Structure 1
Amino acid sequence: MTNEHALEISLWIDRKENPYIENNPYEFQLLIRGSRNGFNVNSIFNICDKVSKTIIILKVKDTGEILGGYNPLEWENNDDQWKETKDSFIFSLKTANMKNSILSTSPNGSVHNYPNQLELRFGHALCLIGNLKTEKRCCCMKSGEYPRLIHSNEFVYPNLYTPSIIFS
């Protein structure tokens, strides 16, 4: 993630129109890294338990695509629950292969906190399941909660529960 990406995410968190140029109002702290802490969703729940205002960043293998989501609420590692929040969002960041970043927000967005099922979801639009590296069950899907697609149309399927991108 570049400094430009961090400034753009900060802009989205604050819902500002004018971009931050240099002075980022936020100091991002890396809490978990797959290569260091493991790629299991359980690691995310354990390390981020009771932590709010988190950004999850994923790099899609072999595409260079960078996807993610922002959760203003706390993750909880001991209770399966669905949480509604108008302040969450999902995104795809600008890369060498993609001209512009994509932001998907919703007044009725939700975050699904399911540690007992090893699932972390932003509605049905961005789903992290099990071991992100070996199980290959994570996906992006069409979703009413986050209506703007965060990935290219070539990966879109009409069925809500058909995975459109599988992360590996």
Structure 2
Amino acid sequence: MNPAIIFTKTSRGQDVIKKRARGLGHSLRLALILVDGHSSVNQLKLKAMTMNNLEKSLEVLALNGLIQANSDSWQIIKDNPAVIRRASSNPEISKIKARLIDAAILILGDEAHRVINLIRETSDSPQALSETVNRCKKIILLTLDEDRAKELNDLCHSILRKVDSVKQ
């Protein structure tokens, strides 16, 4: 995950905290409480030194719409979902592409532009998306670093596996 990303609670995230809604695990709730709109991921890690899975919790919260990143590339995607939809005629594939793009932004931050267009332009099949994720990993390996390439690859393939298991 990009350590410079700053997360804020969405209105849905604020409602979950105010209403003390059930269904949110302890570590997710703690991560949601920690998100203040001012602290970067690195600063949140310092505040929650005892939490081993803070980054994973932040990813889950972001992918479920409870928090969002204050990143230019994140806002372009979040504020204009038609940008994703226009590249896909299949609504299910559009949702998958949106989750993959969210994952790229979470991990790469403002460097996500390197792979967002690849994901958008991928043909509408799970196999094509899997191949695109592999291409994205290679691009990140060459242009950024190995750790983020592996993290993005693992998260994106995890998203694709969940979709496959739901269909079966």
Task: Give the TM-score, by structure 1 length.
Answer: 0.31
Greater RCO structure (CA 8 Å; 6+ sep): 2
Task: Give the TM-score, by structure 2 length.
Answer: 0.31
Question: Would you tell me which structure has more strand in proportion to its own residues?
Answer: 1
